[in-house]
Amino acid sequence: MKNLSIEQIDRIIQMAWEDRTPFEAIKYQFSLSESEVIQLMRLQLKSSSFKLWRKRVNSGISKKHLLKRSAEINRFKCSRQRTISLNKISKRSKNLK
């Protein structure tokens, strides 16, 4: 395993648990392949937690790979995230009077 700080390991585990964060994002940020992430999770989690995580990742529900996602992604963010302009959250309707 690469030399990772405790904070980096915590962040990788957090990203791996999130369904919307693909393995490609973890590879981009931490240079860890999917198999290295699995190995890290196996070492850091309790056995029951690791089995639960693997079951979620292997099921059809998880979108842990960019290829499984239907929309094209230019960067790693939630598709429902609103854009922010001029320090105000964009509104769906411009004519709110």
pLDDT in tens, the chain (97 residues): 678 899 999 999 999 988 788 888 999 999 999 999 999 999 999 999 999 999 888 875 556 666 655 555 555 555 655 555 544 544 555 555 5
Residue 7: per-residue pLDDT: 92
Based on DSSP, count helices (H) and strands (E) in the chain, helices before strands: 4, 2
89 forms beta bridges with 84
Residue 13: per-residue pLDDT: 93
pTM (2 decimals)?
A: 0.62
Residue 43: per-residue pLDDT: 94
Intra-chain end-to-end CA distance of the chain, in Å:
58
